[in-house]
Structure 1
Amino acid sequence: MTFLDTRSLARTAGAAVLAAALTACGSTAMSGMDHGSGGAPSATAAGHQNHQGHQTPGAGADAAGQPTAAAPAAAPAAEQNGYRLDAATAALTPGAPAEYRFTVTGPDGRPLTAFGTDQTKRMHFYAVRSDLTGFQHLHPEMAADGTWTAPLAALAAGTWRVYASFVPDSGPGRGTGLVLSRTLDVPGEGAAAEAALPAATGSATVDGYTVAVEGAPVAGRAGELKVTVSRGGRPVTDLQPYLETYAHLTAFHAGDQAFAHLHPEAKAEAGGTGGPTLPFHAELPSAGDWRLFLQFQTGGTLHTVGLTLRVG
């Protein structure tokens, strides 16, 4: 298999937050949406690392130790710190399931095959349409040669971006989470059409559940978001463990598709249930609208809900 040569891509530090058995879990909560399956961070000159060890652009400190403004958000690059995301194809056929194959090449120029575990998985893979109407979260399978295969559900025509979130378990980046990304073209009728981003709101519904989000995050500052799940006006207390927690929360910045993983502040108890309120450590690097995708499980079914959050 021949992978696209991306060594000519600019080496940028625009990689965002974060940061396996084949798992493509779930129900569909919007057009194109499928899904699979803290403490405060320490600042560095180039950004910071969140409590999971993933590299994140954001606020730093000046020479006097005073906090500086957060750097603008940007979509993760295809290459960072010597690690590179190489894909077998840059385009897929719309309206049909497809296997997206890719490798992560290490600083030594070889496909990386040693990965650590982050929330029970060695690889978290996302596909998101440019207008944030389509969302898939998968946990692909890796072959012995380092080739990953992500089984994408049918994608609507348009421009998509894929994200590979992982923790190298060898080499100079060992133990530090990375997110690499590249665009994916899905040509066809309606490819250029983009839906307007839904207005910012404090709640959304999916499969009969209502999800409410409380909090007023400020760009570049650590804060907390509280997510509450209810059904029929009653609190939901039977949330089942999913990826070591009772909910999984990711965010994408409108316009540039910067990526953030909002980490839960507590792990799920084995065999236990949770809810209705779930606190998340939130640190979003730029102001503006972010599209949140919350995934939670009840009765063996995974639910995904999207809502827009305004960050000041």
Structure 2
Amino acid sequence: MNQLDALKQFTTVVADTGDFHQLAQFRPQDATTNPSLILKAVQKSEYAPLLQDTVQQWRGRDLGEIMDRLLVRFGCEILSLIPGRVSTEVDARLSFDTSATITRAERIIELYQAQGVHIDRVLIKIAATWEGIEAARQLEQRGIHTNLTLLFSFAQAVACGQAKVQLISPFVGRIYDWYKKQAGSSWDEAAMAGTNDPGVQSVRAIYNHYKHFGIPTEVMGASFRNVGQITALAGCDLLTIAPDLLAQLAATEAPLQRQLDPDSARALDLPPVNYDEAGFRYALNADAMATEKLAEGIRAFAADAIKLEQLMLAA
């Protein structure tokens, strides 16, 4: 059995791509997209017609609406190839506006429903700012499920659990990137691999907290830099993996052991943690890595949304 098949025994495998032609090969349960992945996809010749067609059909409408229609178009194509859910992102420029995030999320869901897609097959991706988490809390109460992304800290995860969001995406690779950059020439790759990887440790702490306290929010490790980070999180609820790393797992026959387990987490001695807004903001501020990576991630997704708009204007 290859490692991808072994991983699927105890973790839901999710494809992290806007390139839906690659999906059938790996048979993932779910798929996630973001503005950067969609931007990358529409610049490929096989996907350019999707952009052209969407823009021509809705020319004259608000650019934000056309973008949402394009994202939903990709989402529908992906859903035709997978049995589970697709994650579709709210414009990152709304990351600090609760009401605008809710409005945009509701429109995305309406667009999916107009295509005959059931609400339970879509997760609305929102940046895990305080405002984003509050928007997700209200959306979940309305039956719209959410995926809180750009999550780098334990504080963000705790607040998401309190908000009863459906799923969180802690970013393993970007946490690893930050610590590696901080360490500079003193970084020891071998010593910081596997269970010692700071990104892996972050997800493990979140997973253990959720399972210990019976928090139903799903944990989906994201943004992997190497296969070792994935195998060290085997047993996590879900892992969203880029096609090149899926291919590496599929090509490897080495044994794969479960690393995260709900029964083990329940047996741990862990203190309860809760945050109000002030406590959340202070805890996030105290975490330099999470503060920097959250801001950087929002800027990057916003920049790609602007590039996508420029492509739409030129189409």
Of structures 1 and 2, the one with the larger relative CO (CA 8 A, separation 6+) is 2
Bin of the TM-score, shorter chain as denominator length: under 0.3
Greater share of helix residues, 1 or 2?
A: 2
State the TM-score, normalized to the length of structure 1. Answer: 0.28
